Structure 1
Amino acid sequence: MKYRLVVTDLDGTLLDNEKRVSSANIEAIKRLREAGIMFTIATGRGERAAGPFIKLLGIDMPAVLFNGGEIYDPSRGPVYTSYLEKDVFHLVIDHFRNSEMGIVTFHHDRIFIADLKPSHDLYLKREKVEVERLKDPEEVDEVNKILLVGDVPLAKKMMAELEKKAGIRINHVQSDRFYLEVIPDGVSKAEGLRKLCDILGIDRQSVVAIGDNMNDLSMIEFAGLGVAVENAEEEIKRAAGLIVPANTENGVAYLIKKIIEGDIT
């Protein structure tokens, strides 16, 4: 069998629209492992938000978190971590603090919010994670990423203005209709997956990667087989070598079945 590892995004891919993993997907992942093929996740989520799914899926190998900014081993903790450059962190915070965008910052398994805004309610309602309140977002300046929540077109426009003003490129990626993520320079899911392949001692051509949003594009292009769910962004579909049913229709289970049965070689 050509493929040795299947890597899936969580939100919009493995998870349905209610942020649940279907029994069909859970059973398929079990069968995949029984067939001798490894399985893990690559997500923009950090340790706290990804942890329940790592446990639910019984993942016992490293996972790619923070859009490639961390390789996390469930038994040992982070084995690789990249932090946002401090000058970029302060530039972004200062530029967005008085906007309508909600600012959420992350440090490993801790999530921070200051200056609670209506847009934060969207994040808290959707993610259902415990957060820590700060008086000022710059109280913690060693972070894995900044999440900007709300009007993403506005956030992209403001980011372009900041880049022009500062004369630098700031690494950012859209991970959801309402989320724009600011991550360390050079970080991407592709680079995270590259590091994971090095750890596992496998070739990129032996990897299947599946996703739906723009933060998945790099790993879909990197993997031996890049796969998009039907609900994916059009650019993701164009980059993928295969399109499977939507996240609400057990697209991951469909893909796994095809791999196990030898329909995908």
Structure 2
Amino acid sequence: MTFENLLHTRATRVVVISPDHAVEEFLGVVERMGLHRVSYTVGWTAWLDIAPDGVNKATALERVRRTLGAPRKNVIAVGDGRNDIEMLRWAAETGRGVAMGQAPHEVIAVASEVTGPVSEDGLQTVLASIR
């Protein structure tokens, strides 16, 4: 499919990858783009997720939680990328928002707790703590 054809395709999410950019450089490019009326996050690498305004992992998990009838206090969310910030903040309000040890500072800052990095089986530690 050509780029011109994509312009006429309905989408709920757009992912932009720029492997030739360093993350800090890519963050600057995204800031200058002036994205409005959308939600967006930049990942670990030069990776940009764009979604409709107000749609993110937190809103998706809240919808699943309500459908299942699960109490908010029982929520555990684990993440390590900038696209996990809203989800971790949401989970930490009444449940557990866990940042992986290798997460960037801004991700760790919104979490209610931090586990070890992937290389040290940090997620296993979180899963083992569930009773």
The TM-score normalised by the length of structure 1 is: 0.43
Which residue does the alignment assign to 2:5?
Answer: 138
How far did residue 226 of structure 1 move? Answer: 0.6
CA distance 1:257–1:219, change in 2 (3 Å): same
Which residue does the alignment assign to 1:210?
Answer: 78
Q: What is the number of residues matched between the two proteins?
A: 124
Runs (5+) with no aligned partner, structure 2: none
How far did residue 154 of structure 1 move? Answer: 4.4
Where do 4+ consecutive residues of structure 1 move more than 3 Å?
A: 137-140, 152-162
Is the Cα–Cα contact under 8 Å of residues 148 and 181 in structure 1 kept in the other structure?
yes
Which residue does the alignment assign to 2:130?
Answer: 259
Runs (5+) with no aligned partner, structure 1: 1-133, 261-265
Is the Cα–Cα contact under 8 Å of residues 26 and 46 in structure 2 kept in the other structure?
no
In the alignment, residue 191 of structure 1 is paired with which amino acid? T
Residue 255 of structure 1 aligns to a residue whose secondary structure is helix
Q: Distance in 2 between matches of 1:189 and 1:135?
A: 29
Is the Cα–Cα contact under 8 Å of residues 148 and 155 in structure 1 kept in the other structure?
no
Q: Distance in 2 between matches of 1:136 and 1:232?
A: 33
Q: Distance in 1 between matches of 2:127 and 2:31?
A: 40
2:41 matches 1:173: yes
Q: Distance in 2 between matches of 1:174 and 1:197?
A: 26
Which residue does the alignment assign to 1:194?
Answer: 62
Which residue does the alignment assign to 2:98?
Answer: 227
Cα RMSD, aligned residues only: 2.0
CA offsets 1:164-190 (integer angstroms, 9 cap, x no match):
8xxx34321112312111111110111
Which structure is higher in RCO with an 8 Å CA cutoff and minimum separation 6?
1
Which residue does the alignment assign to 2:50?
Answer: 182
Q: Distance in 2 between matches of 1:247 and 1:253?
A: 9
Which stretch of structure 1 is more off in the superposition, 250-259 or 205-214?
Answer: 250-259
> What are the equivalent positions in structure 2 for 1:46-57 lying under 5 Å apart?
none
CA offsets 1:80-133 (integer angstroms, 9 cap, x no match):
xxxxxxxxxxxxxxxxxxxxxxxxxxxxxxxxxxxxxxxxxxxxxxxxxxxxxx
Is the Cα–Cα contact under 8 Å of residues 163 and 170 in structure 1 kept in the other structure?
no
> What are the equivalent positions in structure 2 for 1:151-170 lying under 5 Å apart?
151=21, 152-163=23-34, 168-170=36-38
CA offsets 1:28-71 (integer angstroms, 9 cap, x no match):
xxxxxxxxxxxxxxxxxxxxxxxxxxxxxxxxxxxxxxxxxxxx
State the identity %.
25
Q: Distance in 2 between matches of 1:191 and 1:203?
A: 15
How far did residue 246 of structure 1 move? Answer: 0.7
> What are the equivalent positions in structure 2 for 1:1-265 lying under 5 Å apart?
134-139=1-6, 141-150=9-18, 151=21, 152-163=23-34, 168-223=36-91, 224-260=95-131
Between structure 1 and structure 2, the one with the greater Rg is: 1
